[in-house]
Amino acid sequence: MSVVAESRKRNNARVSNRRTRQCRTGALALLLLRPLTAVVMRREKEIMLMFDLDRFKADCSAAVTERAALQAVREVVARAVEVPKAVLKALGEPVRAEVHTLHRSSDLTILNVIWGPRMTVMPHNHEMWAVIGIYTGREDNILWRRLAGEANGRIEAAGAKALSERDAIPLGHDIIHSVTNPIGRLTGAVHVYGGDFFGVPRKEWDPERLTEQPYDVQKTLQLFEESNRLHAARS
């Protein structure tokens, strides 16, 4: 064998050995990193499946101070209900129709609203913007508008929004809507309002004549209790 051929053979052998060592090192690194990667991925998944109510309230409080507050709060709510099971775990499985106040201040109200099976609430306004996020069940909203020239403030239907789990929609300051839970089980929704929901005078509309009258909070809360009685009677 010539000197050149022998030298080439030795060089090829060294390259081959180097590649073998590199492959072994790479394989060992993968084996060492795999458990760490699995832990990180599992941790990220656990974080995604968590809903921290205090953090949610803090995020909403920060968002409400932004110039585009409605959109900012909508993004906070949308992130929360993106993992509905996490919200359900944090707030608890709904057992009855009710309204639970999670936060109340002059510029922000957060409610956990549980609609009874096939429950309906008459048309009403808020006199503030709102965001609705569904974490279990369904919520159908009919949107209404005032009829021009009507002395008694009559309204007519103007549109509708059908909401399901993971949906989060914004409602403007002047929106009039009615709400129905169209299914035969409880629906859970997070409602966020840009003001003191219970401290601002508002309007409701008679569900039969569609005429305007002052909003009666106690009457609305009684609708939830009536829904509970009906549901218990059917069970």
Can you give the pTM of this predicted structure? 0.79
Spell out the residues 6+ positions from residue 143 whose beta carbon is closer than 8 angstroms to its own: 157, 158, 159, 160, 161, 175, 176, 177
pLDDT digits (tens, 9 = 90+) for 82-135: 999 999 999 999 999 999 999 999 999 999 999 999 999 999 999 999 999 999
- What domains can be seen in the chain, in order of their start residue? 53-234 (2.60.120.10)
CA 39 to mean position of chain CA atoms: 28
The packing angle between helices 84-91 and 69-81, to 10°, is: 90
Q: Which of 180, 190, 40 is nearest to 120 (CA)?
A: 180
pLDDT digits (tens, 9 = 90+) for 38-93: 444 444 444 456 899 999 999 999 999 999 999 999 999 999 999 999 999 999 99
Strand order in the sheet with 176-180: 155-164, 138-146, 176-180, 120-125, 203-205, 212-214
> How far is CA 94 from each of CA 99, 135, 184, 198, rounded to the nearest angstrom?
11, 11, 13, 23
pLDDT at 3 over 90: no
> How far is CA 214 from each of CA 51, 126, 165, 203, 211, rounded to the nearest angstrom?
36, 12, 32, 5, 10
Give me the mean pLDDT over the 133-159 stretch: 95
Q: Which of 76, 75, 175 is nearest to 128 (CA)?
A: 175
> How far is CA 118 from each of CA 77, 121, 139, 218, 232, rounded to the nearest angstrom?
24, 10, 10, 20, 13
Exposure class string for 9-18: b at 16+ Cβ within 10 A, else e: eeeeeeeeee
When pLDDT is cut at 50, 70 and 90, the band that residue 151 belongs to is confident
Q: What is the pLDDT of residue 235?
A: 73
